[in-house]
Amino acid sequence: MSQLAQPLISAKTMLVGLIGWPVSHSVSPAMHNAAFAALGMDWRYVPLPVNPALPGAVGDAVRGVRAMGMRGVNVTVPHKQAVLPFLDRIAPAAQAMRAVNTIVVEEDGSLTGDNTDAPGFIADLRGHGVDPAGLHALVLGAGGSARAVVYGLAQAGVQRITVANRSIERAHQLLADLRPYLDAIRCQAVTLPDGLAEVADAPLIVNCTPLGMTPHVDATPWPLELPLNPGQTVYDLVYNPPDTLLLQQARRHGARAIGGLGMLIWQGALAFERWTGRPAPVEVMRAAAEEQMRTRKGQPSTARTAKEIQVRLATPADADAISRLHAMLQSCHAEALPTFFKQPPTEAFSASMVKDLLAEPSNVFLVAVVDGKVVGYLYADVSPAQETSMTYRLERFWIHHIAVEPSHRRQGIGTALIDVAKAYARDQRIEILALSVWTFNQAAVRFFQAQGFEVYNYRMWLHLARAVP
Ligand SMILES: NC(=O)c1ccc[n+]([C@@H]2O[C@H](COP(=O)([O-])OP(=O)(O)OC[C@H]3O[C@@H](n4cnc5c(N)ncnc54)[C@H](OP(=O)(O)O)[C@@H]3O)[C@@H](O)[C@H]2O)c1
């Protein structure tokens, strides 16, 4: 993302920041500084590492926020509870959660502790078109984020809440602590995972455990054999990786799948509004957070070497794997454009259809293999475009699909497939690789641009029935 110009730092620059330990991997500085720049505000957001091992450090840090004329700070692990005694006022959400994620320095210099995690979660859920009012919500986990989610859901009018946790005592404790906020909501605690079967049909399932988070991307809180259904929404608070195994399970069963980055963005947007009194530029913050996630430094690299990824032409024996990968691709498209794309399973790209397409001489199927398993494929054809009165005849290698198993994303597999496609086209003396990209798929646009593609062609249509006259 291009960097927007910010005014030079001066005595007038207003400061906010993040106290926690560690804070070096936080996406918040990028998100907030992009928002300030977009609005031309002379504000800065700085990471402030506060070492919990230093006696008195948390109190000193909170007092320092006021003493140094800052407008406020976010608070993250491990200080969300530790800051409580140093505040003048605790907002109801923070009181309920016994945790503060945002401190606001009020006009009179007093300090208010608030928590934007719960409203952030609800804002993102609603932003995805899911209204929790009247629903049965199944919350997996009973830690800090589960408290925020249960409180948010209660405020949003859920009818029933089940908390599933590995240690059931902690689930009971959570419900007992939040009892004053749960009104007439029917509440229940079950053991994770054994108790899930009896509540597995809950229309809203929220993962508040770290299962599936990098580097443990093969973990999931949902037993693989336990079904989900198309009427359900699965929200995973984990946002790194953006597509967790749980979200893949959800999509495979036709359920709606939503990742946790939106909650992170919304809790930041709400903190921004508390400090500045201005509406947050949420889309700017989203773009900055997504960019930050892609370019995180200091993360253990997951990139694989070319030796580990074998790309070869597909054979009929790969048809099942290609068909399965296509179903995931289709489900992402159906989720983004439900009026256009059908949810899998569809007849398109069944294994037998893939076998037929493989037999067509003009089609090219490449598969990427890691540890003996097909984890990605690319489907293209090399039929020439005819010259028309408006365009030249350009022979092109037209890429119809490229898909990578979500657990193998960001490892160079897409790049390896494109590299082999480029080599294949060069061998055939074809000068142009081409494709079209759907506007919703900005990740694909960025990926292809990184591979050297220029994006010419978005797809658009007008729904006459929905259009404003
Ligand atoms: N999207 C966002 O904005 C956002 C915000 C906050 C948190 N998060 C994410 O949410 C996740 C949870 O965060 P948290 O602050 O709530 O953590 P936490 O307070 O440490 O709670 C962790 C919960 O996960 C359960 N758990 C941990 N390991 C488990 C395992 N191997 N098997 C079964 N259950 C396990 C724990 O169960 P026990 O009680 O039995 O130990 C506990 O209920 C993290 O991945 C975090 O990054 C995202």
Q: Domains in the chain, start-ordered, CATH in brackets?
A: 14-114+266-294 (3.40.50.10860), 118-259 (3.40.50.720), 309-459 (3.40.630.30)
Atom nearest to 219 CA in ligand 1: 31
Mutate to test the pocket of ligand 1, among 140, 237, 285 (most ligand atoms within 8 A of CB): 237
Q: Cis link prior to 47 (omega < 30° from 0)?
A: no
Query: How large is the C-alpha radius of gyration of the chain?
Result: 25
Buried/exposed 223-246: b ≥16 CB within 10 Å, e otherwise: eeeeebeeebbbbbbbbbbbbbbb
Which positions ≥6 away from 99 have C-beta within 8 Å? 80, 81, 115, 144, 147, 148
Confidence of residue 305 (pLDDT cuts 50, 70, 90): low
> For the residues 252-278, what does the mean pLDDT come to?
95
Q: Is 270 in the pocket of ligand 1 (CB under 6 A)?
A: no
| CA 294 – ligand 1 centroid, Å | 23
Tell me how crowded residue 139 is: count the other CB atoms within 10 A of its CB.
29
Of 117, 208, 265, the residue with max ligand 1 atoms within 8 A of its CB, to mutate for a pocket test, comes to: 208
> Who wins on pLDDT, 433 or 332?
433
- Percent of the chain's residues with pLDDT above 70: 95
| 167 CA closest ligand 1 atom index | 40
More confident residue, 183 or 354: 354
Residue 263, ligand 1, Cβ within 6 A: yes
12, 80, 297, 373: which one is catalytic? 80
Find the 237 Cα to ligand 1 centroid distance in Å: 9
Q: Is 256 helix (H, G, I), strand (E, B) or coil?
A: strand
pLDDT of residue 304: 66
366: β partners: 313, 378
C-alpha 186 – ligand 1 centre gap (Å): 23
174 CB near ligand 1 (under 6 Å): no
Of 398, 338, 336, nearest in space to 364 by CA: 398
- For the CA of 170, the closest atom of ligand 1 is 39
For ligand 1, pick from 209, 247, 286 the residue to mutate: most ligand atoms within 8 Å of CB: 209
Is 142 near ligand 1, meaning CB less than 6 Å away?
Answer: yes
Closest CA to 263 of 291, 237, 233: 237
Cβ of 192 less than 6 Å from ligand 1: yes
Q: Is the CB of 193 under 6 A from ligand 1?
A: no
CB 425 within 8 A of CB 398: no
Whether ligand 1 lies within 6 angstroms of the CB of 37 is answered as: no
Residues near 127 by beta carbon (within 8 Å), at least 6 away in sequence = 262, 266
Query: Is 12 among the catalytic positions?
Result: no
Summarised one tens digit per residue, pLDDT across range 36-53 is 988 889 999 999 999 999
Q: What is the 3-state secondary structure (H, E, C) of 157-221?
A: CCCEEEEEECCHHHHHHHHHHCHHHCCCCEEEEEECCHHHHHHCCCCEEEECCCCCCCCCCCCCC
Is the pTM here over 0.85, yes or no? no
pLDDT in tens, 382-420: 877 778 888 887 788 999 999 998 888 878 899 899 989
Residue range 123-171, pLDDT digits in tens:
999 999 999 999 999 999 999 999 999 999 999 999 999 999 999 999 9
178 vs 6, higher pLDDT: 178
- pLDDT given at position 6: 66
Q: How confident is the model at residue 3 (pLDDT cuts 50, 70, 90)?
A: very low
CA angle at 311 for the pair 305 and 317, rounded to the nearest 5° = 135
Average pLDDT of every residue of the chain: 90
**Cβ proximity of 54 and 76 under 8 Å:** no
Mean local confidence (pLDDT), 11-38: 93
Q: Is 210 in the pocket of ligand 1 (CB under 6 A)?
A: yes
